[in-house]
Amino acid sequence: MANLEITSLIVFLTIVGLLLLKDRRNLSFHYGIIIRRWDRGLHLIDRFVKRYPKFLTSVGNFAVAIGVVAGLVGLVTLILLTISLRQDTRLILPTAGGYQIPGPVLSVPFWYWLIAVFIIIVTHETMHAVYARLEKVPVKNYGIMMLLLLPIGAFVDPDMKRVKRLELLKKLRIFVAGSFINFIVAIIAFGLFLSGVFAFGLATNPAGVMIDSVAENSPADKANLEGTVQKINGEPISTATDFVRALNDTRPGDKVSILTDKGDYEIELDAHPEIENKSYVGVTVRSNYAYNVFGFDGFVPLIFMSVFFTVMSFLNWLVFLSAAIGVVNLLPIKPFDGGLFFGEILTRLFKDKGNLIINVTSVILIGLLLFNLFGISLLRSIIG
């Protein structure tokens, strides 16, 4: 699986590289950042806005309230993490082949990361464009940004001079729209995740543990262990968790009785080759499930299980990434949307001092983010 992921990554980057080479006349380059702009499709946004102006205005007003709450929650959370010296802040970067990037990094499987980022940035920037056009602000173009061959973001390019002349609430709706749709994406993904888990649980029942592979010269190999495990030492086994739990209390040299649909096996356990004082059977297993839907029954095929759990895993990542990006983007830090959003509010409250307040706040919070990413671990290493 890891080799397949790495191979697909290489193929993807190769295709992207060839497309960029073919389209090089329409690209701009800035110190390793590649930018591609378009203006096609903007008329579709205008049609949508003209059809639902009152609905979009009401949703935008609600989004402003959510933006205030989310930004303040993110601010308080960042401060509390800093005070408690908890290393919970991470950079989110893609990886492949199960490799874990060292340092304060949350490594996300490449294809999960790519698809999730595509959904997040497309919906985010589209909503900015929608609310800009709702207020009759021209949108010059939109585009994507890449770090060499890796997509890292997207943008819309509204006429900011026109935005600055808008009333406060109209500006706030434009600035908060992107993060608000990130929260909506997270809610939808979470709903799909729960629905999938519920439907799977409703339609299936655990039916033992399937033995996927047997290590050569292992106790399982010597005993010719095969089939679906039903009991270990007389205890029923329904899931892979049951299988692991049943063997946790065993030691090297112990004998266990494993009942499968192929027969009853007496196996003497070896010492684990990598973990001291741990017993070793020498198998990889997966939970097996039986279904009974509309009068049809049988065992859930392996391909379906693989696809289902892959989709569930992706939805799990999408929920986390959408919500996290939405909150971080609403922190009162320029040039984040939250910096523009709270900057307008502070300017209304404190007049000319508002701009100074948001600039100072931005510098302080950037320092806190950097400290949380790199300073906490360094401080802990110094103080022991």
Q: What is the crossing angle of helices 353-370 and 337-350, to 10°?
A: 140
Name residues whose C-beta falls within 8 Å of residue 75's C-beta, 6 or more positions apart in sequence: 331, 332, 365
Omega cis (within 30) before 335: yes
* Packed helices 42-51 and 110-134: angle between N→C axes, nearest 10 degrees: 60
Per-residue pLDDT at 69:
96
Q: Number of helices (H) and strands (E), helices first, in the chain?
A: 12, 15
CATH number of the domain at 204-305, please? Answer: 2.30.42.10
d(CA 79, CA 202): 43
pTM: 0.83
| Burial call 89-128: b when 16+ CB within 10 Å, e when fewer | beebebbbeeeeeeebebbbbbbbbbebbebbbebbbbbb
Ranges under pLDDT 50 in the chain: none
The answer to whether 179 and 337 have CB atoms below 8 angstroms apart is yes
| Cα angle, residue 358 at apex, residues 355 and 363 outer, rounded to 5° | 125
Q: Residue 197: enclosing H or E segment and its boundaries? A: helix 168-203
Angle in degrees, CA 81, 66, 338, rounded to 5: 60
Per-residue model confidence as pLDDT tens digits over 269-323: 898 887 777 888 888 888 888 888 877 888 888 888 889 989 999 999 999 999 9
Q: What is the pLDDT of residue 288?
A: 82
Distance CA(234)–CA(280), nearest Å, equals: 19
- Looking at the chain, which runs of residues are DSSP E strands? 27-30, 33-38, 91-95, 105-109, 139-147, 150-158, 204-214, 228-232, 235-236, 255-260, 263-268, 270-271, 279-280, 283-293, 296-299
Q: Which two tokens stand for residue 236?
A: 């029923």
| Buried b / exposed e along 211-220 (16+ C-beta atoms within 10 A) | beebeeebbb
User: What confidence score (pLDDT) does residue 177 get?
Assistant: 96
Instruction: Compute the distance between CA of residue 238 and CA of residue 231 in angstroms, rounded to an integer.
Output: 8
Dihedral class, residue 14 (left if φ above 0, else alpha if ψ from -120 to 50, else beta): alpha
Determine contact, residues 204/300, Cβ cutoff 8 Å. yes
Can you give the pLDDT at residue 276?
A: 78
Pairing between strand 91-95 and 105-109? Answer: parallel
| Whole-angstrom distance, CA of residue 217 vs CA of residue 223 | 10
Portions of the chain given CATH number 2.30.42.10: 204-305
Q: Are 380 and 215 in contact (CB under 8 A)?
A: no
Residue 278: closest CA among 239, 301, 252, 257: 252
Q: In 3-state terms, what secondary structure has residue 307?
A: helix
In terms of Cα–Cα distance, which of 364, 383, 373 is closest to 87? 373
pLDDT number for residue 2: 54
Nearby residues of 49 by Cβ (< 8 Å), 6 or more positions away: 56, 130, 133, 134
Q: How far apart are the first and last CA of the chain?
A: 40
Burial class of residue 232 (count of CB atoms within 10 Å of its CB; 0-12, 13-18, 19+): buried
